[in-house]
Amino acid sequence: MLSHAATLAAVIPACGMPADPRCATNLDAGVNLRASQRIADILKLLSTTLAPQRRLVHAGELVYQAGEHFGNLYILNSGFFKIVTLSPDGREQVVGLKFRGDWLGFDGIAHGSYSCDAVAMDTGEVWTIRYDALLSACADQRELLTVLHEAMSREIAHDRDSLMSLCTLPADARVAEFLRYWAESLAKRGLRTDEIALRMTRAEIGNYLGMTLETVSRALSRLARDKVIGFASKGRRDVLIPSVAALSAFVQRCLSPAPMLQ
């Protein structure tokens, strides 16, 4: 059994869902520990070399705003944030979610002004770094430039993943994948994933995933019915995720039209 799993892993190295869920948990534990440590290291590096201005923000407050003159990049030390763009004709769209260690404001570099709003979804700490000061510091410290480019690269790669999910997954799978990504993000920051507090309304989730709030609600109900997720005792805002692997499995099940139970 173990050897079979090992063979599978060798054949499909990029596959995110090994046969044995416990195996995945153990593997991921190591990966997440390293990721969590790396985020901490980077924050420490930035803190010591740049002495960023620290700012506490509360739910609903803006880190920066569309149209505002670009001059700073922001790094999240804690909290959860959403990136919202507003089109000229009034369409509003959540285009990103940000966690501890993530950078904000890259979109401003090219245009000279930010093209979106960055909104706190709960209380958090934001570090402000002047872009020109960062560039100066990068001249001395190559490590800093590497960190910056990695952050931008990761954002580009992740946006492409989002595009893929939007284009290829049916609604139920998109919701499951959304929860999986949220749980993964928490895990990579050393946080619990068995009970997560989505700080977004169904409408916000739906907006982010390109569907209506009713469809989100139905998808969540279906996930709960299939025991892939649960709801916390108080309210249905907090989601219980017994197994992140089960979420991945649900996504795959949506894609294979073969064995659809009832």
Question: Interface with DNA by CB under 7 A: which residues?
Answer: 170-172, 201-203, 210-218, 220-221, 231, 234-237
Should residue 93 be labelled a site residue for its own copies when binding is judged by CB under 8 A? yes
Q: In whole angstroms, what is the distance from residue 240 CA to residue 251 CA?
A: 17
- The residue within the footprint of its own copies, chosen from 29, 109, 197, 232 (CB under 8 A), is 109
Q: In whole angstroms, what is the distance from residue 212 CA to residue 217 CA?
A: 9
Backbone angles phi, psi at 126, to 5 degrees: -115, 135
Q: Residue 30: which of its own copies, DNA, none does it interact with, CB under 5 to 8 A by kind?
A: none
For the bound state, the minimum distance from the C-beta of residue 248 to DNA, rounded and expressed in Å, comes to: 18
Stretch binding its own copies (CB under 8 A), from 3-11, 90-98, 187-195, 221-229: 90-98
Should residue 163 be labelled a site residue for its own copies when binding is judged by CB under 8 A? yes
Stretch binding its own copies (CB under 8 A), from 12-20, 41-49, 178-186, 228-236: 12-20
Q: Are 114 and 67 in contact (CB under 8 A)?
A: yes
Q: Give kind and range of the element (H or E) at residue 137.
A: helix 131-140
For the bound state, the minimum distance from the C-beta of residue 154 to its own copies, rounded and expressed in Å, comes to: 4
Chain-centre distance for alpha carbon 64: 19
Q: Residue 20: which of its own copies, DNA, none does it interact with, CB under 5 to 8 A by kind?
A: none
For the bound state, the minimum distance from the C-beta of residue 65 to DNA, rounded and expressed in Å, comes to: 21
Output 41 or 194, the one with its CB closest to its own copies: 41
Q: Are 167 and 208 in contact (CB under 8 A)?
A: no
**Closest alpha carbon to 130 in 65, 50, 194:** 50
Q: How many CB atoms lie within 10 A of CB 144?
A: 19
For the bound state, the minimum distance from the C-beta of residue 142 to its own copies, rounded and expressed in Å, comes to: 7
- The residue within the footprint of its own copies, chosen from 49, 78, 212, 252 (CB under 8 A), is 252
125 φψ region: left (φ > 0), alpha (ψ -120 to 50), beta (else)? beta
> Bridge partners of 239?
196, 231
Q: Give kind and range of the element (H or E) at residue 74.
A: strand 72-78
**Footprint of its own copies on this chain (CB under 8 A)?**
12, 14-16, 83, 85, 87-89, 91, 93, 95-96, 106-111, 115-116, 135, 138-139, 142, 145, 149-157, 159-164, 166-168, 207-210, 252, 255
